[in-house]
Every structure is written in structure tokens, then in C-alpha cells.
Amino acid sequence: MLNVRIIDDILSIDDHGGVQAEDSGNVTVTDQQWHHFAIVRSGLSLIAYLDGEQHMETSLQEVLAMDNVSIGVRDRDGTQDDYLPGKVDEFSIYAEALDIDKIRFLMEHLVFAVEKASNPDPVDQA
């Protein structure tokens, strides 16, 4: 499981496998504005982008299985905590690791420029 959170302007990532990374004090998303957030995993490398700028890079200990995705909540022992107090407008998972140019293009144009995941649910890919 991969946990990504921004609390008190601190971006933190952990994978419950011992990897923890923080980008302290310069991640402002509490300004009531729309923000673009992207996480890119390529092999064991994990990079976090906010509004088209790289904020963090870390290495995972093992490749994570992403067969169960929850957005906006973390479930621990049947209880939910650390929920997202904001709103998620668009969410996408891509079959390839996007580079910074594709991330910025998607952020600026709000379109899907690369292939979407197969067998989406719901079927209308909304």
C-alpha cells in the first residue's frame, strides 16, 4: 500500500515497507485553489509533482502491487483515518511512467494525451 498525504504543508510518502520520504514546508495546497498532483512510479523510483514541479523523489524497496486503489482515505484495521478534506476532480492511472513534459501538458490542457487503462469501471471511463 502506498500512502501519500499533505498535512501542514508537508508532503509525505510511505509504503509500509520501511520507505518514508518527506518534502517539508513548501507544499501549499490550503489556498482554496485548484492544484495538480502527480505521482510517477518507474520501477523502484517514485517521484511526486505538484503543479508541474518536482517536489520529491524516493526509492521503493520493492515493486508495489496496485490492485486495490483508495482515493482520499486510508483504511487501517477496518477503521478509516487520514481522510482527504478536499475534493478530487480528475483522477487517472496510466500504464506508463509519465515524464515531466507529459505531466505539464496534462495539467495545462486537462486532456488525456496517453492511453487510458483498459477495462475501466465505470465503463464510461468517467
In 30-69, which positions are buried (b, 16+ CB within 10 angstroms) versus exposed (e)? eeeeeebbbebeeeeebbbbbbeeeebebebeeebeeeee
Other residues' Cβ atoms within 10 Å of the Cβ of residue 93: 9
Residue 29 is predicted with a pLDDT of: 72
Residue 112 is predicted with a pLDDT of: 47
Kindly report the length of the chain.
Answer: 126
* Closest of 39, 41, 42, 60 to residue 50, by C-alpha: 39
Partners of 76 in the β-ladder: 79
Residue 101 is predicted with a pLDDT of: 94
Partners of 74 in the β-ladder: 81
- Grouping H, G, I as helix, E, B as strand and the rest as coil, residue 108 is helix
Q: What are phi and psi of 15, to 5 degrees?
A: -120, 15
Residue 100 is predicted with a pLDDT of: 93
pTM beyond cutoff 0.75: no
One-letter identity of residue 28? T
Domain boundaries, the chain: 3-109
Residue 114 is predicted with a pLDDT of: 46
Residue 89 is predicted with a pLDDT of: 75
pLDDT in tens, the chain (126 residues): 667 777 777 777 776 655 566 666 567 776 777 788 888 888 888 888 888 888 888 887 776 666 666 666 655 555 555 566 667 777 888 888 999 999 999 888 865 444 555 555 555 554
